[in-house]
Structure 1
Amino acid sequence: MSARYYAQRRLNPYRGVVQYVEVGDGEARSLDGVTWHLRADDGQGWVRPVGVWVEGRGLVAGVGARHPELLAALQGRPALPFPLIDSVELWLLDKESGRPLALLDAQAPSRHHHGLAELAWLPFALTYRGYHSAALAERLPAGAGAPRHRDFLERQVNGRARPYAGAQWFRRRPDGAGEGLTGYRLAPAWQGRHLGGAEFPELLVTDAWNSRLEKSAIHDYHAWLSPFLLCWPGLTDATRAELELAAWRRPRWLAQVYRLLPKVIDRAGLNAALVAARLQEAANAEEDGFG
């Protein structure tokens, strides 16, 4: 039984790139390349969690030993990161131009389905409260009752698609171009259209905005998520270098995903950031111990 190794993005909101090992009716998935969560058919037609496998330790929980093919595929897996296969992308569309505005979803071509979609872009999970934009802090009021920076972002992006937001699936080619497929509230001429790679934002949201504040807000958003965006293959060197500078300032998040980076331009910067992450982890452990 042959194993499949691939990766897919978690989107709307973006929460990183998941690595998958798939064998028959079993799979293992990981967000960091170290801890793998195993799922398999329970024999009654349900796919359920069956264990946790950790690099260097093996199976640490569950009944994964009942699925030796999956464990063997994990132990013999190729180098990380695995190829990204979700090349069919759903883009929220700019209301005026009809061009891609923000990435909502991505699927593998073999698993693509048109089903009902949420036509609102989300910058973060609803429970996340940590986001801060330096640009927005300079311009927005502070204190009790002040708008949260994540809310400003959400209104900024979704407002450009409303009223009656539309979205379209595109089959992306290796050169970045895209073939328009089905969608939601599409103009008749848009189905089957072809857009060049430059028509698509390189990251999650377009950086083409009318005001300096709007541009800065999107720049700060991508910088905030930089460790996880560096997991994308195909970024230009200029974009990757800019994201690296931001990611070195977020060492704890970087430490979670550095094994999944397909390319590193500033290797010395990465190493320094990982040292900073270890120091932060030790300091937090000491603080927790005094609690």
Structure 2
Amino acid sequence: MEIYAKRLNNPFRGLLQVVASEQLRALSFDGRQWELQFQCDMRKLKPNYPGFTPRYQYARIGRWDADNGFKPYPLDPAMDRAAVVSAIGEVLEVLASVQVPLPQDDAYELWLLDEQKHLPLALLASCRQPTEMEGMQMRHPAWKSISAAQLEVENTPEEIRRGMPPLNYRIEALVKKRAGQNPVAKWFRRSGHADGLEVTANNQAVSALPAVAFPECLLREDWNDAAAQDVCARYLQRLAPQLLVLQGLSHAGRDRLEQMAYRHVTELDQYFHLYPAVADPQRMTAFRVEARLRAACTIGKA
């Protein structure tokens, strides 16, 4: 049984919690609601399945949470029901006792590089095994921000007056410009907040970079232009409640993100159970109390 968490990258949207046996996996974005998926041999399930597509694919078979237990979805009649039932029992037993956050071990990281300094600029992808790297290579590497529809970052009154686009797209354009006309991405093997060893797609070591070369918030923050610096800072501040789920943060980095999250205490309270550590417990308690008070006021007005 494998039990782990891996980052959802490009754009970064937190950690995916995973409990997986040989044939079945349970996935959760919040550590509470889990979706169960069974690995199917598509050649048996669909005899005329095209040969150029993956032979094995996962089919959604149900969902689980601690309050309601397992709720199955209708199964394809061609699926091996006995195999599904056998696999479910083992995974559900683990889900009933597992504690989130699960250990994050996606140590292989694909970084977009800064054109001028050739240093990590923005994280594009991550994986747990070197065999996964080749399938995640990018012909034209590009970093993506979270869309404005999914993460609202308010424009200033002056930006509104000037009709400027959402900040999300401006930071994306800044990263693209900094990566240059011919963007380069490289793989590094790291563990938490540690040095990085550049590796090839077949896991051969090339060279090393110190830990300080890798942005803790997964995006480089040292911009020469004051306006660009402000755009980056505001984007990361808005993303701070989600960034706090990262398990490789230094104490100083976690402390800074907790301070940055003060404007978004509702989201902070939502993600709190996924935080692996807390830099300032008293401050976080105050934030969470404020979040609960806001929620109570909203319910009262309704």
TM above 0.5, yes or no, is yes
Matched, 1:180 2:195: no
* Match of residue 202, structure 1, among 203, 207, 216: 216
The residue type paired with residue 248 of structure 2 is G
Structure 1 unmatched ranges of 5 or more: 184-190
- Cα 1:99–1:240 shift into 2, 3 Å: same
Distance apart, 1:211 and its partner CA: 2.4
Matched position secondary structure for 2:159:
coil
Mapping of residues 124-203 of structure 1, within 5 Å:
124-125=146-147, 127-128=149-150, 130-132=152-154, 137=156, 141-143=159-161, 145-173=163-191, 176-182=194-200, 192-203=206-217
Residues 269 and 291 in structure 2, CA contact (< 8 A), matched pair in contact too: yes
Matched position secondary structure for 1:59:
strand
Distance apart, 1:144 and its partner CA: 7.3
Residues 232 and 262 in structure 1, CA contact (< 8 A), matched pair in contact too: yes
* Match of residue 122, structure 2, among 78, 82, 102: 102
Tell me the equivalent position of 1:245: 259
Residues 248 and 269 in structure 1, CA contact (< 8 A), matched pair in contact too: no
RMSD across aligned C-alpha pairs, in angstroms? 2.5
Tell me the equivalent position of 1:277: 291
Matched position secondary structure for 2:179:
coil
Q: Deviations over 1:133-179 (max 9, x none)?
A: 6xxx37x6324742221121111111001111111111114561112
CA distance in 1, matches of 2:270, 2:72: 21
Percent of paired sites with the same residue:
30
CA distance in 1, matches of 2:249, 2:193: 12
CA distance in 1, matches of 2:250, 2:170: 28
- Cα 1:262–1:76 shift into 2, 3 Å: same
In the TM superposition, structure 1's runs of 4+ consecutive aligned residues that sit over 6 Å from their partners are none
Residues 88 and 112 in structure 1, CA contact (< 8 A), matched pair in contact too: no
Distance apart, 1:258 and its partner CA: 0.9
Matched, 1:62 2:62: no
Tell me the equivalent position of 2:81: none
Q: Deviations over 1:180-207 (max 9, x none)?
A: 2237xxxxxxx81211111111211112
CA distance in 1, matches of 2:198, 2:12: 22
Residues 249 and 273 in structure 1, CA contact (< 8 A), matched pair in contact too: no
CA distance in 1, matches of 2:23, 2:134: 24
CA distance in 1, matches of 2:263, 2:271: 14
Distance apart, 1:100 and its partner CA: 0.8
Tell me the equivalent position of 1:257: 271
Tell me the equivalent position of 1:51: 62
* Match of residue 20, structure 2, among 13, 19, 22: 22
Distance apart, 1:60 and its partner CA: 4.1
Structure 2 unmatched ranges of 5 or more: 46-55, 76-83
CA distance in 1, matches of 2:126, 2:151: 25
CA distance in 1, matches of 2:57, 2:166: 41
CA distance in 2, matches of 1:17, 1:46: 22
The residue type paired with residue 145 of structure 2 is P
Provide the aligned length of Structure 1 versus Structure 2. 274
Residues 248 and 270 in structure 1, CA contact (< 8 A), matched pair in contact too: no
Tell me the equivalent position of 1:123: 145
CA distance in 1, matches of 2:269, 2:22: 32
Q: TM-score, normalised by structure 2?
A: 0.81
CA distance in 1, matches of 2:94, 2:291: 31
Comparing 198-207 and 110-119, the one that deviates more: 110-119
Residues 122 and 220 in structure 2, CA contact (< 8 A), matched pair in contact too: yes
Residues 6 and 105 in structure 2, CA contact (< 8 A), matched pair in contact too: yes
- Cα 1:41–1:218 shift into 2, 3 Å: same
